[in-house]
Chain A
Amino acid sequence: MEFNTITESLEKINSNKISIVELNDIFINRIKKNKNLNAFIYFDEENISQQIKKIQSSKKNFKLKGIPLAIKDLFCTKNMPTTAGSKILQNFQPSYESHVSQKLLDQGSIFLGKANCDEFAMGSATNTSYYGNTINPISPRGSQLVPGGSSGGSAAAVAANLCLGATGTDTGGSIRQPASFCGVVGIKPTYGLCSRWGIIAFASSLDQAGVFANNIADTAILLREIAGYDNKDSTSANREIPNYFENLNQDMSGKVVGVPKEYILPDIPEDISKIWEQAIKSLERGGVKVKNISLPHTKYALPAYYIIAPAEASSNLARYDGVRYGFRSEEGTSLDEMYELTRSEGFGKEVKRRVLIGTYVLSAGYYEAYYMKAQKVRRLISNDFNEAFNECDFILTPTAPSPAFPIGEKEDDPIKMYLNDIFTVPASLAGIPGISIPFGKSQNGLPLGIQLLSKHFDEQLVLNAGLYLEKNNV
């Protein structure tokens, strides 16, 4: 029996062709055999066993009964430590469960462990985690490629079949880009669709929970379970959640796809241009009309993001001060000294850089020139999308400007890393939903991803388009 998809596995569990224990054992064993990938920060078999017992003894009608999932270590989990990939939260044990992960538990899913991620979600290669790099499972023999980031552990775990699905968070591309690098599906929903309560905050106006899975159908199932209003999150949207899975429809005829000219960069690798073309052609064959559109402020998205996100992060990370939880430096003799040493030792380089940038752009004399300016540009970018959606139903772009690259590359210059997010950041700034689906391979046989964007709360459309392309991937 194959257990590569949630749909298949659910069917087998519900028809008793396999028990929850047996199903999860398959994945547990795979995890143990693939420790070298370092996809998990926390993995404990006894913990899994407890979870399974609980599900088995329950009479509830679960929608994700026994399905093994990985949870990005940015989600606070009651029964597993939560580190955010940082030293400063090493051994932090939340007494509470994030809203999103609770919803998954409520549907009977099994958490196999906490997936590795860039520290405080800051990174695009899962190379800033205090707990080491994660290795992309598709790395050819003899090489170690990055899985993308910040949700690299989650993407890798799904790609390596260590689980059937995973949660991630996407602030500037942290689900879509690793999905592309690892060859899996990853979706960042509309801002506000999923609750942020219990997710360790990086940049509050950009963070969104999302999921990874092996295919669109599984993605749709998972998305439905994590989406929904939460009155504990004041930015949560109070909307009815469609049954994305049941509504899946790959008939795209009559739809209009926008191809933004500003995403055609001079230095895009040829293989990426090629898959972009192929995707467009494939959609055309499905009856989709292609429209060239313009998103004029695209090139300002990354700079705007790298002002706004660090600014919000510098404030969100102020609470990591060694007073109430987490790591505290033993050496400080005064409160301020303790703060400085704790945070200096507890945070890694990238986090420190971003906190410093964030502090600077908010500081007296610079607020208007940087932060406010960036928020104004953000409005322009958002307006670009609003205008564009008058002319098309969804937008198609590559997900990333390259396939997965070797670990250690691009680490000399922070900006090189930041450029990984060039195609994903604009959608984050506008809050619109985006999905990356694997589409084609690079010259070296590495997975490439295509990104689909739609209007706010039109997740169904990108799932449908994704399904079409999944089935018409030539």
Chain B
Amino acid sequence: MKIDKNTTLKIAKLCRIKVRDEEIEELSSQLSSILDWVEKLNEVNTDNIEPLNNVSIATLPLRKDKENLQDQSKEVLSNAPEKLENYFAVPKVVE
């Protein structure tokens, strides 16, 4: 699958990674090769095969509804690059 520059930029935007102009060409080319390579899967007949999402043998464990009343705000904010009075601070969202 050929990934052109526009597609690369579109995907980059979706996953919030800035791709610089110098990087676009090489990146698009590498993505294209990787996707070409994985398209080998098209050789396999997967009609009537269910996807395998998880190889765990567990069944979904259920937790009791007991709340933990501990205030962990200090811990949770301890690594924040920027905060103000117990809020995380980020640059303004453009509305």
The reply to whether chain A is a binding partner of chain B is yes
Q: Which residues of A sit under 8 angstroms from B53, Cβ to Cβ?
A: 205, 375
A352 to B75, CA, bound (A): 29
A360 to B75, CA, bound (A): 35
Shortest Cβ gap from B8 to chain A (Å): 7
Shortest Cβ gap from B76 to chain A (Å): 7
- Asked whether, in the complex, the Cβ of B79 is within 8 Å of the Cβ of A375, the reply is no
- Asked whether, in the complex, the Cβ of B61 is within 8 Å of the Cβ of A360, the reply is no
- Asked whether, in the complex, the Cβ of B18 is within 8 Å of the Cβ of A340, the reply is yes
Q: Select which of B19, B31, B50 is within 8 A of A379 by beta carbon.
A: B50
Which residues of A317-376 have CB atoms within 8 Å of chain B's CB atoms? 318, 321-328, 332-341, 343-344, 347, 352-353, 355-361, 363, 370, 372-376
Residue of B nearest to A379 (CB): B52
Q: Which residues of B sit under 8 angstroms from A314, Cβ to Cβ?
A: 15
A237 to B59, CA, bound (A): 9
Shortest Cβ gap from B11 to chain A (Å): 5
- Asked whether, in the complex, the Cβ of B81 is within 8 Å of the Cβ of A328, the reply is yes
Q: Is A415 an interface residue (CB 8 A)?
A: yes
Residue of A nearest to B62 (CB): A234
Q: Which residues of B sit under 8 angstroms from A333, Cβ to Cβ?
A: 91
Shortest Cβ gap from B82 to chain A (Å): 7
Q: Is B56 an interface residue (CB 8 A)?
A: yes
Q: Select which of A234, A306, A380 is within 8 A of B37 by beta carbon.
A: A306
Q: Which residues of A sit under 8 angstroms from B49, Cβ to Cβ?
A: 376, 379-380
Which residues of B42-69 have CB atoms within 8 Å of chain A's CB atoms? 42-44, 46, 49-58, 60-61, 63
- Asked whether, in the complex, the Cβ of A380 is within 8 Å of the Cβ of B17, the reply is no
Most chain B C-beta atoms within 10 Å of own C-beta, residue among A299, A321, A324: A324
Q: Select which of A300, A340, A361 is within 8 A of B44 by beta carbon.
A: A300
- Asked whether, in the complex, the Cβ of A379 is within 8 Å of the Cβ of B51, the reply is yes
A261 to B43, CA, bound (A): 19
- Asked whether, in the complex, the Cβ of A338 is within 8 Å of the Cβ of B12, the reply is no
Q: Is A36 an interface residue (CB 8 A)?
A: no
Given that A237-B58, A347-B17, A356-B15 are contacting pairs, would A380 and B33 also be in contact in the complex, using a CB cutoff of 8 Å?
A: no
Shortest Cβ gap from A426 to chain B (Å): 12
Which residues of A218-242 have CB atoms within 8 Å of chain B's CB atoms? 231, 234-238
Shortest Cβ gap from B19 to chain A (Å): 7
Q: Which residues of B sit under 8 angstroms from A307, Cβ to Cβ?
A: 38, 41
Q: Is A138 an interface residue (CB 8 A)?
A: no
Q: Is A87 an interface residue (CB 8 A)?
A: no
Q: Select which of B57, B61, B78, B79 is within 8 A of A234 by beta carbon.
A: B61
Residue of B nearest to A380 (CB): B49
Given that A328-B82, A356-B15, A375-B51 are contacting pairs, would A237 and B31 also be in contact in the complex, using a CB cutoff of 8 Å?
A: no
Q: Is A413 an interface residue (CB 8 A)?
A: yes
Q: Which residues of B sit under 8 angstroms from A318, Cβ to Cβ?
A: 15-16
Which residues of B4-35 have CB atoms within 8 Å of chain A's CB atoms? 7-8, 11-20, 27, 30-31, 33-35
- Asked whether, in the complex, the Cβ of B31 is within 8 Å of the Cβ of A353, the reply is yes
Shortest Cβ gap from B38 to chain A (Å): 4
Q: Which residues on B are within 8 Å of A, measured CB to CB?
A: 3, 7-8, 11-20, 27, 30-31, 33-35, 37-44, 46, 49-58, 60-61, 63, 75-82, 88, 90-94
Q: Which residues on A are within 8 Å of B, measured CB to CB?
A: 92-93, 95, 191-192, 205, 231, 234-238, 297, 299-300, 303-304, 306-307, 314, 318, 321-328, 332-341, 343-344, 347, 352-353, 355-361, 363, 370, 372-380, 382, 413-415, 429-431, 456
